[in-house]
Amino acid sequence: MSGTTLSFQFSWLAAAVAAAAVAVSALLGWRSLRRERSGRLAAGWQCLRLFIVIMTASMLFRPELVRSAKRTEKPVLRLLVDRSGSMETRDMTGPDGSAISRSEWVRSALTSSIWIAAAKSFRVAESEFCGASTNDPGADRKTDLAAPLNEAAGETPAARCVVLISDGDWNAGASPASAASRLAARGVPVFCVAVGRDEFQPDIELADVSAPSFVFAEDRLAIPFTLRSRFQREIVTKVGLSGTGGESASRDVRVPPMSSVTDVFVVKPRREGRTVFTVSVPLESGEINAANNSISAAVDVRREKFKALIVETLPRWEYRFLRNALVRDPGV
């Protein structure tokens, strides 16, 4: 539905000036006609002059021809969601009290009643940015807030508002302030929603477990591991190792506050074939994230014998030394 109306901006000062101008023009025209006793032609000229004065005086009221059109479609609410690698940090609390990642919390929040109510009045256009879908291998470690805002600023028709959900400040691309200014110039407000915690959540994490891809059956296997603590106090815990072949070991580890410790397990595989070794640490008091408390690694246990051939032209003591060393090696 559309319509056209003529609007004026009324003020008493403009009305007084316009009335005085029209009155003076009409008085001067009337006196001119009486003095000269002119005919109809002169009277027509005086009326035209009075009309011009009236039209000029009406400009003081700033007349505008307003054409209104009623939209039949919903206004757009532009939703920009950060998908950088830091959004996978598990420092948020789920409905059941367990630890969830920031991206999981955002997905849960977008299904809340607030967004369901917003969808009734707006057409929610959601898009993601800073994900790993680009050709840049380090894109998931960068947060470029200006690019999605510039993209939203260039859209036609403009969105009613922009909601930006992110877990950090920009560390790539241009400053988002200029992009937000472009949106503000078009009358589009930008609302920012911060996700994540300001400090680390108390957590014990097995940051790394390194195991070789294969080992010989008679050799000892070294499995180094790194234990990282996000507690503000010293942690003393027991790290365990278990294998599908029946191997087991444990070590008491002391971790200083907000630091990491590296140690190693040395075990002897009990059977040949593929064996999965799991390094685990128990859940500490106050810790809610148990997903990073264990890491598994598969090792191929092989039984192979190397054959050595020593060729000497003359009997020497070096031959006897090499022979004795090779005989003591179970892999030869």
Q: Which residues contact 44 (CB under 8 A, 6 or more apart)?
A: none
C-alpha to C-alpha distance for 65 and 7, rounded to whole angstroms = 6
Indicate the class that CATH gives domain 204-302. Answer: mainly beta
C-alpha to C-alpha distance for 303 and 106, rounded to whole angstroms = 51
Residues pairing with 190 in the sheet: 162
C-alpha to C-alpha distance for 1 and 190, rounded to whole angstroms = 30
C-alpha to C-alpha distance for 204 and 290, rounded to whole angstroms = 8
Q: In this predicted structure, which of 170-174, 193-197, 227-231, 268-272 has the lowest mean pLDDT?
A: 170-174
Element (H, E) at 16: helix 12-36
C-alpha to C-alpha distance for 109 and 299, rounded to whole angstroms = 42
Q: What is the CATH architecture of 76-194?
A: 3-Layer(aba) Sandwich (3.40)
What are the backbone angles phi and psi of residue 296, rounded to the nearest 5°?
-115, 150
Cα dihedral 207→209→210→216 (10° resolution)? 180
Using the predicted structure, report yes or no on whether residue 43 has a pLDDT greater than 80.
no
Using the predicted structure, report yes or no on whether residue 236 has a pLDDT greater than 60.
yes
pLDDT computed for residue 87 by the predictor: 81
pLDDT computed for residue 174 by the predictor: 77
Residues pairing with 294 in the sheet: 280
**Mean residue pLDDT across the chain:** 81
Q: pTM, whole model, 2 decimals?
A: 0.54
Domain ranges across the chain: 2-69, 76-194, 204-302
Q: List pLDDT tens digits, range 183-227.
A: 888 888 888 888 887 777 888 888 888 888 888 877 888 999 999
- In the chain, DSSP finds a helix count (H) and a strand count (E) of 7, 16
End-to-end CA distance of the chain: 93
Using the predicted structure, report yes or no on whether residue 22 has a pLDDT greater than 70.
yes
Q: List pLDDT tens digits, range 113-170.
A: 787 887 888 888 888 877 544 555 555 567 778 888 888 877 767 787 888 888 877 7
Give the pLDDT mean for 14-41: 76
pLDDT computed for residue 278 by the predictor: 92
